[in-house]
């Protein structure tokens, strides 16, 4: 496949299109998007051309359904590898959708994109001491991709704690080999470095070492200006119940802020602990990691404290959007719960932009100008050495068993 004048992007598990928003602003041209969720498509279609969005199960896609592309971005489901999920791993009903992507990339053959970027939670690294990440990197190696892995926390760009793992794969990009002297950095924490050095038999390559900026924005920057007499603010009884769920230490700190002249905004999550439900308050000016809003415990709360008054309310969809780096011009024309779920399951726009600026775009420019793009025998490709291809490590991709334990389409998002 020859390199195109435009950088063609395919977005898998596309959700509401935030990866496309980020990458398009960095010079990429979206040519294809796929997701199984009709509700997420509603949000997407209000903001992007819906004709490139293929609604349906990734397992149903065939190579002929997908146009030529230079980059495949895939934020595949995290439920089965998340610490908050069911820990079924890549054989689970949700995270197992990765194998649907792998099957499609395999079927593309010579049309396989030069770059693949996968995004998931840190649980992919922690699951069974790295078994999930090893499976993913090994599977990409089998397709000819040399891989790098970095961790980027959204807190470097927005006031939200949201560390995410990114696997970057390239067929021909220049690389530096993984050396025993590899040390931790902001984007490669000690547990990731340890994993990479321990799993030396996988086909690794360093595609760069950039450092994200220092965190600089506080939670006040995303708070909507909602008058205190608005019905969105809770009544005294509901606020008092929230306060009763705080630990003594958190309550003491909140009470200490009450008599101050200024007003502070704090964020709260309800969490189930061994001693019962706790309202856990953050005092660092940062929101907790947004989640998919299924129940009350997964919705984030805004606490307004100061000048002798304490008020509480649910965080709004627009505030969720701002925490993902989405501009206010982005249309949110769906109900609250649908919007919160959509943004809680999305990527952080400035994180993706930073990855494009520091890793993806420089690599693309180098490969496009080197004359090695378009075949998998270029000078930067090394034969996969790996134990990742040993019998039994990767699930069968035969027609009889290609779906494995993957669920019906209605449950895969």
Q: What is the pLDDT of residue 407?
A: 31
Q: How many CA atoms, within 13 angstroms, populate the side-chain half-sphere of residue 358?
A: 17
Q: What is the pLDDT of residue 253?
A: 96
254-292 pLDDT, tens digit each: 999 998 989 999 999 998 777 788 999 999 999 999 987
**Over 80: is that where the pLDDT of 71 sits?**
yes
Q: What is the pLDDT of residue 371?
A: 62
Among 71-80, 165-174, 219-228, 315-324, the range scoring the smallest mean pLDDT is 71-80
**Over 90: is that where the pLDDT of 208 sits?**
no
Which tokens sit at 147? Answer: 């891989």
174-186 pLDDT, tens digit each: 877 666 567 888 8
Among 138-152, 200-214, 297-311, the range scoring the smallest mean pLDDT is 200-214
Q: Identify the three-state secondary structure at position 313.
A: strand
Provide the percentage of residues in the chain whose pLDDT is more than 90.
64
Average pLDDT over the chain, rounded to an integer: 84
Between 208 and 303, whose confidence is greater? 303
What's the mean pLDDT in 152-157?
96
Residue 52: other Cβ atoms inside 10 A: 19
Which tokens sit at 61? Answer: 């896609």
233-261 pLDDT, tens digit each: 999 999 999 999 999 999 999 999 998 98
Q: What is the pLDDT of residue 258?
A: 93
76-122 pLDDT, tens digit each: 776 656 555 455 555 655 556 888 999 999 999 999 999 999 998 88
Q: What is the pLDDT of residue 388?
A: 30
Q: Where along the chain do its domains lie?
A: 7-216+347-411, 225-315
**Over 60: is that where the pLDDT of 399 sits?**
no
Q: What is the pLDDT of residue 182?
A: 75
Q: What is the pLDDT of residue 294?
A: 54
Between 295 and 15, whose confidence is greater? 15
356-390 pLDDT, tens digit each: 999 999 999 888 887 655 433 332 223 323 333 33
Could you tell me if 302 and 313 are in contact, meaning their C-beta atoms sit under 8 angstroms apart?
yes
Q: What is the pLDDT of residue 331?
A: 98
Task: Return the beta strands (E) in 211-366 as ranges.
Answer: 264-273, 276-282, 301-306, 309-314
Between 384 and 223, whose confidence is greater? 223
**Over 50: is that where the pLDDT of 55 sits?**
yes
What's the mean pLDDT in 154-177?
91
Among 13-17, 66-70, 176-180, 409-413, the range scoring the smallest mean pLDDT is 409-413
In words, the CATH class of domain 7-216+347-411 is alpha beta
Backbone angles phi, psi at 7, to 5 degrees: -85, 110
Residue 183, exposed/middle/buried by CB under 10 A (0-12, 13-18, 19+)?
A: exposed
Q: What is the pLDDT of residue 375?
A: 37
Angle between helices 38-45 and 336-344 (to 10 degrees): 90
Which tokens sit at 306? Answer: 């100061």
Provide the percentage of residues in the chain whose pLDDT is more than 70.
81
What's the mean pLDDT in 33-54?
96
Residue 342, exposed/middle/buried by CB under 10 A (0-12, 13-18, 19+)?
A: buried
């Amino acid at each position: 496949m020859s390199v195109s004048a435009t950088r063609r992007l395919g977005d898998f598990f596309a959700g509401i299109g935030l990866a496309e928003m980020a990458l398009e602003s960095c010079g990429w041209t979206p040519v294809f998007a796929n997701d199984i969720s009709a509700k997420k498509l509603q949000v997407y279609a209000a903001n992007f051309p819906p004709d490139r969005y293929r609604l349906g199960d990734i397992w149903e896609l065939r190579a002929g359904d997908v146009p030529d592309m230079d980059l495949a971005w895939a934020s595949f489901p995290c439920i089965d590898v998340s610490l908050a999920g069911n820990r079924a791993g890549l054989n689970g009903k949700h995270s197992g959708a990765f194998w649907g992507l792998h099957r499609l990339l395999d079927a593309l053959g010579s049309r396989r994109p030069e770059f693949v970027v996968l995004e998931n939670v840190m649980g992919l690294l922690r699951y069974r001491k790295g078994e999930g990440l090893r499976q993913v990197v090994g599977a990409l190696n089998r397709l000819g991709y040399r891989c790098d892995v970095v961790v980027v926390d959204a807190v470097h760009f927005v006031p939200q704690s949201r560390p995410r793992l990114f696997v970057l794969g390239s067929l021909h990009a220049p690389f530096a080999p993984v050396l025993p002297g590899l040390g931790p950095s902001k984007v490669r924490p000690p547990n990731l470095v340890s994993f990479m050095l321990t799993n030396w038999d996988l086909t690794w390559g360093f595609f760069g070492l950039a450092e994200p900026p220092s965190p600089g924005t506080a939670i006040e920057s995303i708070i909507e200006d909602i008058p205190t007499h608005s019905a969105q603010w809770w009544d005294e009884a509901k606020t008092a119940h929230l306060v009763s769920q705080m630990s003594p230490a958190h309550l003491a700190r909140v009470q200490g802020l009450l008599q101050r002249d200024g007003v502070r905004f704090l964020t709260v999550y309800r969490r189930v602990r061994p001693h019962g439900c706790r309202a856990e308050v953050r005092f660092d000016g940062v929101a907790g990691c947004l989640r998919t809003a299924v129940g009350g415990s997964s919705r984030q709360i805004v606490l307004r404290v100061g000048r002798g008054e304490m008020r509480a309310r649910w965080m709004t969809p627009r505030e969720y959007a701002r925490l993902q780096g989405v501009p206010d011009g982005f249309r949110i024309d769906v109900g609250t719960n649908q919007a919160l779920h959509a943004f809680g399951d999305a990527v952080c726009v400035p994180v993706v932009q930073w990855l494009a600026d520091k890793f993806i775009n420089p690599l693309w420019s180098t490969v496009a100008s080197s004359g090695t793009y378009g075949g998998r025998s270029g000078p930067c490709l090394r034969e996969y050495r790996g134990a990742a291809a040993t019998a039994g490590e990767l699930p069968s991709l035969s027609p009889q068993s290609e779906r494995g334990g993957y669920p019906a389409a209605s449950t895969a998002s």
